[in-house]
Amino acid sequence: MGTIEVVLGDITAERVDAIVTAANESLLGGGGVDGAIHRAAGPRLAAAGAELAPCEPGKAVVTPAFDLTQVKHVIHTVGPVWEGGEHGEDLVLTSCYVESLLLAEELAAESIAFPAIATGIYGFPTERAARVAAMAVRSLPIIDRIRLVAFDRETAEALNRALAEPI
């Protein structure tokens, strides 16, 4: 049984086998965490993404990490755009975590770092997304070290609350 921990910080500073980016379907990069990871990994990340695009919401694909030298893989997953919660958003978000974990397992990754997928530009409510994330990673403890990287305190607290809830 591995560990699941919440950390507050910049995911591009993580020293793990795989980091997950909250991408869009083009996989060409964007703002938010995707922009930060693309800046850190360099232009080859978008070129590699373009080869694999489009990536539909809930799916995950992997590329090398290029200039992000302390990481082996970047897993690109596309979260759901929040539309009020009645359009299967929870299922798509769950799939982002599950598909990323399964891909990481295929890559024999021993550690993975997730951002709070979909809670920024895509507007998914933080508390609800934290519960989805906690449920997904606890249901699939197949990677030894799972790190949920929050960029702000509110997100970190929501993730810790969600992980403290009984399964």
- Binding footprint of ligand APR on the chain (CB under 6 A): 10-12, 22-24, 30-36, 79, 115-122, 149, 151-152, 155
Residue at token pair 């921990």? 5
| Cβ at position 165, least distance to ligand APR in Å | 20
Q: Where are the beta strands (DSSP E) in the chain?
A: 3-8, 18-23, 60-64, 73-78, 111-114, 145-150
Q: 137: which 2 tokens?
A: 């990673």
Give the nearest distance from C-beta 37 to ligand APR in angstroms. Answer: 7
Nearer to ligand APR, 31 or 54 (CB): 31
Looking at beta carbons only, is 11 or 109 nearer to ligand APR?
A: 11
Of 10, 17, 34, 90, the catalytic one is: 34
d(CA 125, CA 138): 20
Q: Which is nearer to ligand APR, 63 or 155 (CB)?
A: 155
Residue 17 known to be catalytic: no
Nearer to ligand APR, 58 or 79 (CB): 79
CB of 116 to ligand APR, least distance (A): 4
Across the strands, what pairs with 18?
73, 112
Contact 19, 7 (CB under 8 A): no
Q: Taking the complex as a whole, how short is the minimal distance between the CB of residue 14 and ligand APR, in angstroms?
A: 9
Distance CA 67, CA 135 (A): 32
Helix axes 153-164, 126-139, angle to 10 degrees: 50
Return the closest-CA partner of residue 141 out of 13, 15, 20, 5: 5
Q: Which of helix, strand or coil describes residue 24?
A: coil
* Catalytic positions, written as ranges: 34
